[in-house]
């Protein structure tokens, strides 16, 4: 993980109160009703969902204001417990 990735992850955590997929407590956060996220590429997040056989909803945000608007930055992928996401 690069220093710029760490800044992006910290920003998303502050804005969303979600757990990052690499956090030690990501599964516990999901079980408690919080979302889990990753930046730029959803593969690690999808592996997390599959590994733990989670029922979830997915969401994606592009170029959030606090993320640098560069081609390889700005994508944030979330999974939410299926019973907690509201539209």
**According to the model, what pLDDT value does residue 67 have?**
54
Per the structure, how many domains does the chain have?
1
Indicate the pLDDT class of residue 64, thresholds 50, 70 and 90.
low
* Residue at 87 is within a domain: no
69-82 pLDDT per residue, tens: 545 556 889 999 98
- When mean pLDDT is compared across 19-28, 44-53, 65-74, the lowest value belongs to 65-74
Q: Is residue 86 part of a domain?
A: no
pTM here is 0.82
Instruction: Determine the pLDDT at residue 8.
Output: 82
Domain that holds residue 49: 3-81
74 occurs within a structural domain: yes
HEC-encoded secondary structure of 8-75: HHHHHHHHHCCEECCCCCHHHHHHCCCCEEEECCCHHHHHHHHHCCCCEEEEEEECCCCCCCCCCCCE
| Domain-embedded: residue 66 | yes
Residue at 60 is within a domain:
yes
Angstrom distance (rounded) from CA 49 to CA 64: 23
Rounded CA separation 21/78 (Å): 9
């Amino acid at each position: 993980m690069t220093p710029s990735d760490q800044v992006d992850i910290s920003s998303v955590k502050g804005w969303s109160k979600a757990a990052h997929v690499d956090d030690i407590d990501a599964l516990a956060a999901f079980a408690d009703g919080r979302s889990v996220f990753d930046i730029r590429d959803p593969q690690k997040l999808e592996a997390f969902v599959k590994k733990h056989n989670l029922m979830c909803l997915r969401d994606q945000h592009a170029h959030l204001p606090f993320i640098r608007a560069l081609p390889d930055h700005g994508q944030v992928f979330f999974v939410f417990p299926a019973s907690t996401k509201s539209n």
